[in-house]
Chain A
Amino acid sequence: MNALRLSFNPAKTLTRVLASSFALFLFSAGVSAQDVVNRWGPTPSASSYGDDFDDLFWLITALVSVSFALVVILLVVPLIRDRARPGKKASYDHGTSLHDKRFTACVSIIVFVVLDAWVLVIAMEDLQTGFWNYPNPDNAATYKVEVLGQQWAWNFRATGLDGEFGTPDDILTTNTLTVPKDRPISMNFTSKDVIHSFFLPDMRTKRDVNPGSVNIAWFEPVIAGDFDILCAELCGFAHYQMYGKLHVLEQDVFDTWEKEASLMAQAAYDKNDTEAHWAWEWQE
C-alpha cells in the first residue's frame, strides 16, 4: 500500500499521458489526413483561379499548424522540465532581461517577415493574376450577368443573344444561373434591400452585394456540372434558404440552351410592364 503510493509520481504520469496522446494524435492525423480533407475540407476547385486560392489556403494552414505546434512545445517543455520537484525549486522567469527581449524581437521579426510577408505576397499575386484580373468586357468570349440580390433570392439577368442588357430577349432567372464552361463569366451585383454576399464555393468566388452600388467579380468555370450558389452575409430570417444552383454547360450545350432561353424570354416579355425591367448600365 505504502510502496504503491510512493512509486506514483503525478508529474511523470502526466508527462507520459501527454506524450502518448500527442503521439496518438499525430499517428491518427497522419493516417486519416486525406479523409479529414475529403469530409470537412473544401470541394474541389472548379474555376481557373481556384487552385491558386487553394494552394494559398493550404500554405496558410500548414504555416499556422507548424507555428502552433512550436508554440505548444515551447510552452509544455519548460513547464515540465522546470517544475518543482523534491530537491528542486520551480524557477520563474518573466523574460525581462535584455537578452530575452532581443530574442523575442528577433522571433517576432522572423515570424512577420517569413510568414506574414510570404503569405501576403502570394495573396497579392493571386489577386492580381486571378480575382482582380477582370476579363475584357468587350471580348465576345466574356459572358456577362447582372445579379440582383434580395431577401431571399438571387435574380439573374443575362443579355440573351443580342449581347445587350435591357432588351426583350434578356434571360431572366431566379436562383438558377446557367453559364458556359471555359469562358470568363463577368458579373455585376447590387441588392434591392440589405447587404448580401454572392458566394460560389466551388469557384472560390465571393463578393458582397450592396444596395445602392454595383460590385463586380468574375470567374471562369473549368468543370461542367451543377454547383451551389450561397448567400454569405446574414441577411435576415430566411438567409439560410437563400441558395441557388449554378449550371455550367459545355459550350455547344450552352448554345442550345441560350437560344431557347432567349426565345422563352421573348414569349414572357411585356413592354408595358416597365417595373420589371430592372437592368442597369454595365459597370466595369
Chain B
Amino acid sequence: MKRLTLLLAGAALSLGMTLPASDPLTVSEGDEHGHDSSASAPEGPHDRPPLDVVLDIHTDAWLRAPSEDWFEAQAELDPDRFSYVDDLLDIDGDTEGGYQDKLGEYELRYDAEEDEIAYWQYISADRLTQGRRDYVQFCSSCHGFDGDGYGRSGQHLRPPPRNFTKPFYKFTKVPGHLLPSDESLILLVERGLNGTPMLPWALSRDQLNDIIQYLKSLSPEGVGWRDVYSEVGHIVESDGDPWTGREAEAIQAGQDVYHGTAKCYSCHPGYVTPEKLAEINGLPAGSMPRENFTYPIAKITENYEVQGVPMLLLPPDFTWQDVRAGTTPLELFETIGAGIGGTAMPQWKGSLSDKDIWAMAYYVRSLIETYKGHPEKRAEFMSSLRTGR
C-alpha cells in the first residue's frame, strides 16, 4: 500500500504537481521575532523598476597622470615618444619645462584657477565606452551601474564593494595618501581579493586597461583623478629580500618589530605572552597595553561607507581571518609597506627600515601558515597566551 502511495506521489510529481514539502515559502518582510528591527530577507529583483542602463559615453576625459619621475623613466625606455622640453608651458611670460608625449596621450597642463601645473592623461570617449561596457558586464552587479559600490549583489556585503566615486583604495600596495597607478589597479583586479567576492578577473590586458580608465573617470570634479592636487603613486618597491635563507631568524626579528617598535598589536591581536611583550619593550612585567590583547580591535572608517553609514573594519587576526592581498613574503612586504589606504593602518615604508618590514612579512606569513585553518592548534596557542592574564 505504501509503495502504491509513493508511486502515485511520484506520478503526480512527474505530472508537474508540487508536493507540499517542496513548496517555495515566501520571505517575511521585516522581522517580528529577530533582535534587529531592520533585519529582513533581501527582496527579489522583480520589485525593482526596470533597468535603464546607459552604455555609451560621449565626453572625453582628462585624468591625473603620474608625476614627473614616471615620465623621466618613460623617456629612458621610449625616447622617441617622450622628451624633455625646456619651454613646454608659457605661463604669463614664465616658461616651464616638462616632458612631452608625441602621441598626445599625456600632457603637462596649467590650471589658471588653482595656479597649479600638473600632468594629465587624455582618455577618449570611445575608450571610456569600451571600459564602461565591460564594467557593466563584469563588475556592476557588485560595484553598481554608476560605480557607487551599491549594486544589487553588493548589498548587505561586508566588506562592501568599493565605491569608485571616492578616491580611497585599500589593497593596491600604493601608499594610501596617493592615488594608485594604472599598473597597481590592473594587478589588483587580475589577482582579486582572497576571501571576498572580489574574484580574480581573467580578462585581457586591454579590457582591464579600459575598465581601469573608466573607473578612474568616475571621480567627480575636484576629487581623485580629477583633482589637480592629488598625486599618483606606485607600488612600494624593495631592494630585494634581505632575509633569504634565514627565514627562522626573520620570523624572530619580525615578532620583535611587530610587538615592539611597530606596535601592530594596537589594532591587530598580539601574539606573545605578557612577559614576552614586557621583555620586547623593556617594560615592567605584567603591564598590558590594552584589554583583550589577543583580539583585534575594529575601527570605524568614514572613508568607506554604505548609504552614509561609516564602516567598522576589523584588522585581521592573521591566524583566523583571510589576508586579502596575498600571503607571499613579497606581497606582505608590499601590503605592510604601503599600509591600507583610507583605513587606520598607516604606511610603514619610510618609518621602518625595509629589513624590519620584510621581517614582519615573514612573521605574519608564519602565523598564517602555522595556525590558519587549524582550529585546534590555534586554540592551544591562543589560550597559552591568554592564561595567566
Q: Which of B11, B35, B141, B320 contacts A260 (CB 8 A)?
A: B320
Which B266-317 residues sit within 8 Å CB-CB of chain A?
A: 295-298, 300, 306-307, 309, 311-312, 314, 317
Kindly identify, within residues 180 to 214 of chain B, every residue whose CB is under 8 Å from any CB belonging to chain A.
195-197, 199-200
Which B residues lie within 8 Å of A278 (CB)? Answer: 39-42, 156
| A283 and B39 form a contact (CB under 8 A) | no
**A207 CA / B382 CA spacing, docked (Å):** 38
Query: Contacts A121-B7, A276-B158 given: A151-B141 contact, CB under 8 Å?
Result: yes
B27 contacts chain A at the CB level, 8 A cutoff: yes
Instruction: Let me know if B31 and A280 touch, CB within 8 A.
Output: yes
**Distance in angstroms between the alpha carbons of A256 and B375 in the assembled complex:** 7
Q: Shortest distance in angstroms between B192's beta carbon and chain A's nearest beta carbon? A: 9
User: Is B44 part of the contact surface with A, judged by Cβ < 8 Å?
Assistant: yes
* Nearest-Cβ distance from residue B147 to partner chain A, whole angstroms: 17
Question: Are the C-beta atoms of B195 and A263 separated by less than 8 Å?
Answer: no
Q: Which of B19, B35, B47, B375 is within 8 Å of A249, CB to CB?
A: B375
Which chain B residues border A192 with CB–CB below 8 Å? Answer: 42, 152-153, 155-156
Residues of A contacting B39 in the complex (Cβ-Cβ under 8 angstroms):
165-166, 274, 277-280
Partner pick for B25 among A121, A165, A167, A213, CB 8 A cutoff = A213
Q: Contacts A210-B24, A212-B27, A281-B32: A264 and B317 contacting too (C-beta < 8 A)?
A: yes
- Encoded as 1 (CB less than 8 Å from any B CB) or 0, chain A from 242 to 276 comes to 00000001000100110010011001111011111
Residues on the A chain within 8 Å of B389, using CB: none
Check if A279 sits within 8 Å of B36, measured CB to CB: yes
What interface size band does chain B fall in? 35 or more
Q: A21 at interface (Cβ–Cβ under 8 A)?
A: no
Residues from chain B with a CB closer than 8 A to the CB of A213 are 24-27, 44
Chain A, interface size: which category?
35 or more
Assess the B296–A174 pair: CB atoms within 8 A: no
Interchain CB contact under 8 A, A275 and B309: yes
Given A192-B152, A213-B27, A214-B27 in contact, is the A125-B6 Cβ separation under 8 Å? yes
Please tell me if the beta carbons of B137 and A237 are within 8 angstroms of each other in the complex: yes
CB pair A241–B199 under 8 Å, yes or no, is yes
Quick check: is B344 within 8 A (CB to CB) of the other chain?
no
A140 to chain B, nearest CB (A): 19
Interface string of B44-56 (1 = CB under 8 A from A): 1111000000000
**Which of A151, A190, A253 sits near B41, CB closer than 8 Å?**
A190
Is B21 at the interface (CB under 8 A from chain A)? yes
- A47 contacts B by Cβ under 8 Å: no
Nearest-Cβ distance from residue A255 to partner chain B, whole angstroms? 10
Q: Is the CB of B156 within 8 A of A148?
A: yes
> What separation, in Å, do the CA atoms of A179 and B272 have in the docked complex?
30
Q: Provided the pairs A124-B10, A215-B24 are in contact, do residues A280 and B298 lie with their beta carbons within 8 angstroms?
A: no
Report the Cα distance A165→B297, complex, angstroms.
Answer: 24
Using A151-B142, A212-B44, A267-B297 as known contacts, list a sample of 5 further A-B pairs with CB atoms less than 8 Å apart, ordered by residue number in A: A212-B26, A214-B24, A214-B26, A274-B36, A275-B156
What are 25 inter-chain pairs, A to B, with CB distance below 8 A? A120-B11, A124-B7, A155-B156, A165-B34, A174-B197, A192-B155, A193-B152, A213-B25, A213-B44, A214-B24, A241-B200, A256-B375, A260-B375, A260-B379, A264-B320, A268-B158, A270-B312, A273-B306, A274-B36, A276-B158, A277-B38, A278-B39, A278-B40, A280-B27, A281-B34
Q: What is the interface of chain A, defined by CB distance below 8 A to chain B?
A: 117, 120-121, 123-125, 128, 132, 134, 148, 150-153, 155, 164-167, 172, 174-175, 190-194, 210-216, 236-238, 241, 249, 253, 256-257, 260, 263-264, 267-270, 272-281, 283
* Interface pairs A-B: 3 shortest CB-CB: A212-B44, A166-B34, A153-B197
